[in-house]
């Protein structure tokens, strides 16, 4: 299976979402296939209350049956963030977006494969408050299956 070997698995646990997304977008445009795991553990910098209020205000934009459609699941939030950094209306951006897969947690079929992280976007570099993507998702209407 050649397809499995050229996929890069990135663990989003404790990574800053925007910075991770920009690096992932650049690598997707260069032709890599990328899988992001633990999407719900990525973080967004800012005070908890203001970040959640901003997310709720964003949901008010649009019309339910006509769009734009706003993701509420953590994996879809991460995927949408990467999409925003791709030229998605051009063929190369569309092809790059198809090479991205995002998962909540760590899928069993990925066990035993090499996992990569991006040390330059680690949360330890932040000197301000931050919030996990899962907390934002729960605040705007997502409920985890196990709870």
**pLDDT single digits (tens) 32-67:** 999 999 999 999 999 999 999 999 999 999 888 898
Closest by CA to 140, choosing from 83, 80, 66, is 80
**pTM of the entire predicted model:** 0.92
CATH number for the region 2-139 comes to 3.90.1180.10
pLDDT at 93 over 60: yes
What pLDDT, on the 0 to 100 scale, is given for residue 39?
97
Under 8 Å between Cβ of 39 and 133 = yes
CA–CA distance, 61 with 72 (Å, rounded to integer): 14
Name the token pair of 131.
């919030």
3-state secondary structure of 53: helix
Average pLDDT over residues 71-96: 97
Q: How far apart are the first and last CA of the chain?
A: 36
């Amino acid at each position: 299976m050649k397809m499995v070997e050229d996929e890069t698995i990135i663990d989003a646990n404790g990574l800053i979402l925007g910075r991770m997304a920009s690096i992932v977008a650049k690598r997707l445009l260069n032709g890599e296939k990328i899988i992001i795991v633990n999407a719900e553990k990525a973080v967004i910098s800012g005070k908890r209350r203001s970040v959640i209020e901003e997310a709720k205000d964003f949901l008010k934009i649009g019309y339910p049956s006509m769009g734009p459609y706003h993701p509420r699941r953590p994996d879809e939030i991460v995927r949408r963030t990467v999409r925003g950094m791709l030229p998605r209306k051009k063929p190369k951006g569309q092809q790059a977006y198809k090479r991205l897969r995002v998962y909540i947690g760590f899928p069993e079929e990925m066990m035993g494969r090499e996992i990569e992280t991006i040390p330059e976007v680690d949360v330890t570099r932040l000197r301000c408050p931050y919030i996990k993507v899962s907390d934002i998702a729960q605040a705007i209407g997502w409920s985890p299956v196990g709870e």
